[in-house]
Amino acid sequence: MRRGMSGCHSVGSTFRISDADAFTLIELMVVILVIAILVGISVPVWIHSVRASADKTRLANMKAVTAALNLYCYNTEHFPDNVDNDYSGWDGDADGDFIRDLKATGYVEHIIADPTGLHTVTPTGNYHYYKYPAGSYGANPAKGAFYVVGIRDLESCTGAHPDSPGWNPGGGGQRDWQTEFEWVAGAFEVEQGP
């Protein structure tokens, strides 16, 4: 049995080779352990950065969509109608056809869709759009129709994203879309007009 490094000097050359081999094995195990620790640290960091990057794209997509919707309304005095009913009247992005009027009229360069095709909540996609008639869900009818656009699931959060504007146009308990999306926004037609 080995009794430590000092024993190496008092034993024969055969044992020294054996000790040297054993030491190499220990070194190898240390290297493997260090690699395992580094992998254990870096894989979650890498996964987190991939998720954060996808979410960054999603938030940028929503910024582009809401800016386009508001400009569209400013110029036409209405929001795009629900022309693609994928799910209870909602237009989802999974079919590669999301708020097609924005693309058709040049307010966005291409149809906007989730960067990873995430469909964790509904089979219709991760982005959803709906235009509601004036006065829906307790909203003030004088403000006109309103849209709701949202992201069902962001990968870096559970529940409402801190940057989500939220949307509860009636102000009461009739319907708070923030409970249905992790990021959601809405706007009234009258408020976006010229």
Q: Which residues bind Ca ion (CB under 5 A)?
A: 84, 86, 91-92, 95, 97, 153-154, 158
Shortest Cβ distance from residue 111 to Ca ion (Å)?
9
Shortest Cβ distance from residue 64 to Ca ion (Å)?
17
Shortest Cβ distance from residue 99 to Ca ion (Å)?
8
Q: Which is nearer to Ca ion, 4 or 123 (CB)?
A: 123
Q: Which is nearer to Ca ion, 125 or 144 (CB)?
A: 125
Q: Which is nearer to Ca ion, 17 or 83 (CB)?
A: 83
Shortest Cβ distance from residue 122 to Ca ion (Å)?
11
Determine contact, residues 139/146, Cβ cutoff 8 Å.
yes
Cα–Cα dist 23/150, whole Å: 60
Shortest Cβ distance from residue 151 to Ca ion (Å)?
9
**Three-state SS at 106:** coil
| H or E element at residue 150 | strand 146-151
Determine contact, residues 32/39, Cβ cutoff 8 Å.
no
Distance separating the N- and C-terminal Cα atoms of the chain: 89
Backbone angles phi, psi at 11, to 5 degrees: -105, 165
Q: Which is nearer to Ca ion, 93 or 189 (CB)?
A: 93
**Rg of the Cα trace of the chain?**
29
Q: Which is nearer to Ca ion, 91 or 114 (CB)?
A: 91
